[in-house]
Amino acid sequence: MKGFKTSRPSQRRSPAMSRATIIYSAAAFIIAIVISYVIGSEMGPISIVLTVVLLMYGVFNLARHILQILVINREEANYSNMLRRADVMQHPNIHKISNRGENEWLSYGFSCMQGWRRSMEDDHVTILTSDGGFFGVFDGHSGANVAKFCGDRMFEFVSETEAFKNKNYKQALYDGFIAIDQHLYSNYRGEKGGCTAVVLLVKGDKLYCGNAGDSRSILCRDAEAVPLSKDHKPFLPEEQTRIERAGGYVWNRRVNGALALSRAIGDFSFKSNTQVSWAQQAVTSAPEINCSDLDRSRDEFAVIACDGIWDVMTNEQVVNFVRPRIQSETPLDKVAEELIESCLSPQPFGLGCDNMSVVIVKFNRHPTLPTAEDVNPREDQVLHIDNDVACGAVEQSDLLLTAVSGPENGFSQRDGCDSSAENGFTVDDNY
């Protein structure tokens, strides 16, 4: 909702108050006429003057209050139309959907809220595995379908890559983002929407963060905020260079004057240049990957959230908000709920009017490691998936219900993934 500004109609007199004033004025006017008539025989011409004055006063007041009702009603109608055009409601939907879970390595809490927006377009994933977990937030635009698909199946696409099976998790995140985007393009090319994607893969004492778009992940290390991802905006030099090489342009800080982010899943109208690889489209799904060693004596928690949070709070403010609540042992899903509530705007304009989704991942200081006989041969065994409930009511479409095989669109899944030099993104094979 950036850039949307409007003024709320005057609340000094509601229509109900104005109607009461009209009735009061009319009654006072009638009483005055009766009084002047009763005393008219004794006062003569004075009563006539008094009657005329009272009549003029009464007519003026009645006209003024009737006009006020009409003006307020018109203001309310204009205000409602402005809110409708801005895709916001007159009253926010503050119902929150939350969950939490834990294993030996970590615990997490999640919450999301529709807020002022007319629909909920965010989705998420929270999966516990035998050696960590997989968490993500997907902020949809122009519909919720792509975000919903990513929330349901991103981990599947990542975990089924050859790189994941070979424990090259950094490459697996990259390949998974490309694969799910090409799958959608191959099978649902007519889909108009898209979504940002930021995910955090925890494998023992390693953190792998993949990001495409302007959702964000941060780490609290030594009580300070450490960015795990970078927002992808069209006006950044490296992003603008790719956009222009793909035949696009940046105007008003947007791709082709339309899209305010330069990387996303979906948004296929920006991915039509067959002369460049899939990773080099104007709006690319190629993520930037960050790998970090997890120091459990210093690293307390990570926060993954959509821009509905980051537009309102800085990284440091989020850490300062979350950390004392974790220290007081507030359940993580409640911390996420409180964070969302604190970011909600009191009015349907300005910052704090977007959908909001937050995942908080707290790292256990001394994880109880499984013994040799407890270890499953497949290290990425999924222990718990708590992603059954969507953040908002999403109409089920063919995009969500149909399961089809991999991409056959002429863009190889390896396109843009073979050579880091070619695609412009560094992939460190040491992880």
C-alpha span between 137 and 377 (Å, rounded)? 29
Within-domain flag for 102: yes
> At 15, is the pLDDT very low, low, confident or very high (cuts 50, 70, 90)?
very low
Question: Which residues contact residue 162 at a Cβ distance below 8 angstroms, ignoring those fewer than 6 apart?
Answer: 175
By percentage, how much of the chain surpasses pLDDT 90?
Answer: 62
Which of 6-10, 219-223, 382-386 shows the lowest mean pLDDT across its residues?
A: 6-10
Question: What six digits make up the tokens of 319?
Answer: 């850490």
Are 359 and 341 members of one domain?
yes
C-alpha span between 196 and 103 (Å, rounded)? 28
Task: Name the domain boundary from 85, 108, 143.
Answer: 85
Within-domain flag for 64: yes
Q: What would the pLDDT profile of 155-177 be if each residue is shown by its tens digit? A: 999 999 999 999 999 999 999 99
Mean pLDDT of the chain: 81
Are 56 and 165 members of one domain?
no
Average pLDDT for residues 100-106, to the nearest whole number?
Answer: 96
Within-domain flag for 191: yes
Q: Is the dihedral of CA 393, 399, 404, 410 positive or negative?
A: negative
417: amino acid identity, one letter: C
**Angle formed by the axes of helices 332-343 and 315-327, nearest 10°:** 140
**Above 70 in pLDDT, residue 71?**
no
Average pLDDT for residues 16-25, to the nearest whole number?
Answer: 60
Task: Name the domain boundary from 52, 69, 85.
Answer: 85
C-alpha span between 211 and 289 (Å, rounded)? 7
Write out the residue range of the structural domain in which residue 316 sits.
91-423
Q: What would the pLDDT profile of 325-372 be if each residue is shown by its tens digit? A: 999 999 999 999 999 999 999 998 889 999 999 999 999 988 776 554
Within-domain flag for 5: no
Task: Name the domain boundary from 85, 110, 134.
Answer: 85
Confidence (pLDDT) at 10: 40
Confidence (pLDDT) at 84: 52
Which of 140-144, 296-300, 369-373, 419-423 shows the lowest mean pLDDT across its residues?
A: 419-423
Are 326 and 402 members of one domain?
yes
C-alpha span between 18 and 336 (Å, rounded)? 43
Confidence (pLDDT) at 66: 73
